[in-house]
Structure 1
Amino acid sequence: MEQSTYVSSAAMGGTFGELADPKTDSPITDTVSKIVLSILCSAMYFTRRRNFAILDKRKQAYHNSYLDSEDSARSSDELLWYDPENNDDPQNYNSASKHQPKRRTCCGCAIYTPNTSQFSDHVHSRILQKFPFLIEMFYWIITYLFYRMTKVLSQAIFTKSIIDVARAHGLAVLDFEQFSFLSFLFPWKEHNVQHWFMDGHQDALTILNRAYALIHIPGTVGFIAWYYYIAPSHSTFATARRTLTLTNLFAFLSFTLYPCMPPRLLPPEFGFLDSVRHDNATSIWMSGNFVNSLAAMPSMHFGYAFVIGCTMFYHAGIFRRTLEKGETRKNWGWKLVYMAIGLGYPSFILITIVATANHYWMDAVMAVIVACAAYLCNGIFLALLPLEDLLLWTLRLNKPIPSTGERFRQRGGKL
C-alpha cells in the first residue's frame, strides 16, 4: 500500500458533492447489503409470534407501544373509568363503544387519541402481529433517512463555503487535541496511529478497512435484532433502542450545524490516507449523493459501539443487585462473555475509526457525551406517542404486541 498513489479529494477542491464517496462496485457493497438483509429476515423469523395465525381472526389482547413501557399502549378501557349504567355519565357516548380512545400525556397535558384496536382484524395489522419486528425495521428506516438528509440541510445552511467551514473545524479539532489544556488526554496523534499500521502492519490495516465498511451497519442492526429477541422485557429493550435513536438525532443536529472534515479528507500535507477507499472497501451505505462526508463530529461508529457495550455490561447483570421478572442470574462464564464484548467491541471500533483516518479522537469523546445525554433524555420520545397513534389510525393499523423476551423466558432466562 503506497501513500503516493492517493490524492486527497479535499486538496483537489471542488464542491461538497465531489467530496462525497462515489458509488462503488466493490464486493463489499453486495456483502454488506446481504448481511443486513439476512439479519433482518432472521430477526423477523425468530421474533415472530408462534401461536398467532394471520388468517385466524380470534380476539387479540391489547398491545404495547414500540416507544413506551409494557403498559403504555394499552386501551383506555383500563385508563378511563366510567359507569355503564349511568346515562348521565359524560363519557357515556364513548363508553358505548368497545374501542375507547387512548389517554396520552404530552408536556403535562392529557391528550385523547384514536384507539386502533378496532383495526386488529385487518390483514396488514395481523401481519404486524405475526411479525412485530417489522415495527422496529420501519422506524429505523426513518432514522436512516434523517441521516441521509443531513448533507442536504448542511449544504443549504453553509452553501458554497461548507468545504472551507468543515476543513476549518477539522483543523480546530486537531489543534485542540494537541495544544489545549486537555492535550494530555490525547497522547497519541491520529497521524502516528495510522502510520504505525501503514509501516509494517498493512495486513492489519486492511482488516480494519474491511471492518469499517462491514461492521457498523450490520453490527448495529444485528444488535437491535438480538436484543429485541433476548432482552428480559420490552421496556428494557425500548430504553436501549430509544437511546440509540436519540444518539442519532443529537448527532444529526451536530452534522448539520457543525460540519467537520474527517482526517482522510484533509489536505495531503497532513499525511492522512483515505485507506478505506484506497483498499476498495467502501460500501453502498457509505456512498451516494446523500451520504454526508463531512460528518466526523461526533463519531456514530463509536457512539453506537459505546451504547452496545454499555448494554452488554447491563445484560451481564454484574452491576445489578436485582433482576427483572423472568430473568435468572447468569453464571460467570456468560458474564465474562458479555464483559469481553462490552469492552472489546467499542475498543476495536475506536482503533478502526482512527487508524482508517475517518475520525479524530475527539469525535469518540463527543460520541460518549452524546450517548450519555441520549440515555438521560431518551424518555423524550414518549411525547411522540400521540403522533404514533394518529399515524397508525391513518394507516388503519393496530400495533403489534412486542414479542421481546418470550423465547428468552421460555429458555429459562439464562442468556
Structure 2
Amino acid sequence: MPHTATNRRPRWWTELLLIAVVYAAYSGGRLLARGDVTTAVGHGLAILRLEELLHLDAEHPLNRLFTGTPALGIPADFAYATLHYLVTPAVLVWLFRRRPLHYRAARTWLMVSTLLGLVGFTLMPTCPPRLLDAGHGFVDTMAQFSAYGWWGGEASAPRGLGGMTNQYAAMPSLHVGWALWCGVMLWRYGRTPLPRALGVAHPLLTVVVVMGTANHYFLDAVAGCAVMGLGLVLARPATRGADRLRNRLRGPVLERFGGRVGRRFAGGGTTGASPVVSGGCETSAGERIPGQRARSASADDTPAPAR
C-alpha cells in the first residue's frame, strides 16, 4: 500500500526544525504577553478567592509542607525546573522512533495546545502565588532553596536570566498540560506496566509540585488540562488544514517539474530517440510472455488451437 501523508514517517530534520520554530514562537510570545503587573496581581487574587470559596485552595498546605521540609522542597524545585523540559522532548523522540504512525497526530496535539496556552497568557496575565504579597501566606520555595540549584529568585530561570522570562504566565499551567500529554502518550502507547505507571504518576506529581512550590494555583492546573482537551479537539482540523496547504504549495512545483520531464521525453531526450517502451521487442503469433495467463475461451471469439 502506498504511503500517505498520514502514515508516512516524518523526516527527523523537518520535525526538529518545526518544533524549534514553534517553541521559539511560544517563548517569544510569552515575553510579549507580559501584561500589566496590577492586572496580573488582580487576576491572581481573584483566582485565590474563588478557590477559597470552593474549598479548593490546596496550595497553602502544600507550600507550607515544601517550605518546612527541605527533603521535599528541594527535589520539588529540581522537578519543576527540569522535568518540563526533559520529559516532553523524551516522549516526542520515543514516539518518533517507536510509534511513528501515531507521532504526527500526537505532535500536532501538543503544538496546538501550546499555542492555545499562549493565547491564555495574553488574555489573562496572572500573578503566581509566590509573587503575591507575603501577607497571603505563600513562600517562594525556589528562591528559598536557590543555593541548591542554578536558578535564582525569578522562577526556574538561571541566575541573571530572569528578565528573559514572563513570570506572570501562570494561567493556564502548561507544566501540567504538557505533563498530561506525556501521561496520555505513555499510557496509550506503552506496552509494559512501567510506562503506564509513569504515565499516571507524572501528571499527578506535576500538579503537586507546581502548587507546593507556589508557582501555580490549583485552577491553573485545571485550566492546563482544559487547554489540552481543546487542543485535542482542534488537532485533527489543524492536521487537515496543514495537508491542504502542503498539497496546494506542492501542486505548482510538481506541475512545473512534470512539464519539464514531459517535454524532455516528447523531444526524445538528448539523443532524439523515440520513447517506445517495448524497445523494438515483439512476440510472434501465438507466443506468450513468460508468466502471462492464457485468455479464456469466453474472452476470445476463436477457439484455441489443439495442443
TM-score using structure 1 length: 0.54
Paired amino acid for 2:16? M
Q: Secondary structure at the match of 1:145?
A: helix
Partner of 2:212: 355
1:176: how far off?
Answer: 1.0
For the Cα contact (< 8 Å) 1:312–1:338, is it kept in 2?
Answer: yes
Moved more, 278-287 or 259-268: 278-287
Residues 39-59 of structure 1: CA distance to partner in whole angstroms, max 9, x if unpaired?
xxxxxxxxxxxxxxxxxxxxx
Partner of 2:132: 266
- 1:64 and 1:139 map into 2 onto residues whose CA distance is 20
Equivalent residue for 2:95, pick from 227, 250, 271: 227
Residues 318-357 of structure 1: CA distance to partner in whole angstroms, max 9, x if unpaired?
xxxxxxxxxxxx5xxx1x2132111111111111111111
Question: Larger radius of gyration, structure 1 or 2?
Answer: 2
Q: Does 1:176 align with 2:42?
A: no
Q: Does 1:377 align with 2:210?
A: no
Partner of 2:105: 239
Q: Secondary structure at the match of 1:293?
A: coil
Paired amino acid for 1:341? L
Paired amino acid for 1:135? T
Change (3 A) 1:133 1:176: same
Q: Secondary structure at the match of 1:373?
A: helix
| RMSD of aligned Cα (Å) | 2.9
Partner of 1:191: 60
- 2:143 and 2:13 map into 1 onto residues whose CA distance is 33
1:301: how far off?
Answer: 0.6
- 1:391 and 1:291 map into 2 onto residues whose CA distance is 36
1:244: how far off?
Answer: 0.8
- 1:263 and 1:164 map into 2 onto residues whose CA distance is 14
Partner of 2:173: 299
For the Cα contact (< 8 Å) 1:148–1:292, is it kept in 2?
Answer: no
1:311: how far off?
Answer: 1.6
Paired amino acid for 1:139? L
For the Cα contact (< 8 Å) 1:148–1:290, is it kept in 2?
Answer: no
Partner of 2:122: 256
- 1:354 and 1:298 map into 2 onto residues whose CA distance is 13
Query: After the TM superposition, which residues 307-346 of structure 1 pair with which residues of structure 2 at under 5 Å, given as runs?
Result: 307-316=181-190, 330=191, 334=192, 336-346=193-203
- 2:126 and 2:80 map into 1 onto residues whose CA distance is 19
- 1:392 and 1:291 map into 2 onto residues whose CA distance is 38
Same amino acid, percent of matched pairs = 26
1:279: how far off?
Answer: 2.2
- 1:392 and 1:195 map into 2 onto residues whose CA distance is 58
Q: Secondary structure at the match of 1:370?
A: helix
Partner of 1:118: none
Query: After the TM superposition, which residues 204-223 of structure 1 pair with which residues of structure 2 at under 5 Å, given as runs?
Result: 204-223=72-91
For the Cα contact (< 8 Å) 1:309–1:341, is it kept in 2?
Answer: yes
Q: Does 1:146 align with 2:14?
A: no
For the Cα contact (< 8 Å) 2:30–2:118, is it kept in 1?
Answer: no
TM-score using structure 2 length: 0.71
Moved over 6 A (4+): 389-393
1:249: how far off?
Answer: 0.7
Change (3 A) 1:388 1:265: farther
1:64: how far off?
Answer: 5.6
Q: Can you give the 5+ residue segments of structure 1 that lack an aligned partner in the other structure?
A: 1-61, 74-128, 317-329, 394-415
Change (3 A) 1:289 1:196: closer
Change (3 A) 1:260 1:220: same
Normalized per residue, which structure has more helix? 2
Change (3 A) 1:63 1:288: farther
1:384: how far off?
Answer: 2.7
